[in-house]
Amino acid sequence: MDWKVFLATFGAVFFAELADKTQLVGIGMAAKSGKPVSVWLGSVSAYIIVTVISVFLGVIMAKFIRPELIRYIGASLFILIGALMLLKVI
């Protein structure tokens, strides 16, 4: 295992996910249901599937597109979405 890649990925995902809408859903579901273990298992299961899909897409995309271009496209999409949110378009 490449620990440098692992730690970089862990740090990026951990800080990106802090206080996002997924956590707010988990908080709401746990508060409403009173079943935190079930909410945790559902959340972890969903995130595992989403992560598997994104990793496989990344591997496939890397065969056709340079990783730097993928990073620029991702960053551009975040900026575009942020601008649209600021302008209250979405």
Residue 15 covered by a domain: no
Residue 34 covered by a domain: yes
pLDDT of residue 69: 93
Q: What is the pTM assigned to this prediction?
A: 0.70
Residue 8 covered by a domain: no
pLDDT of residue 90: 79
pLDDT of residue 29: 96
Sequential DSSP letters for 14-33: HHHHTT-HHHHHHHHHHHHH
Residue 52 covered by a domain: yes
Residue 48 covered by a domain: yes
Query: Into how many domains does the chain fold?
Result: 1
Range from 33-37, 56-60, 73-77 that averages highest in pLDDT: 33-37
- Rounded CA-CA distance 68/78 in Å is 15
Domain span at residue 80? 21-86
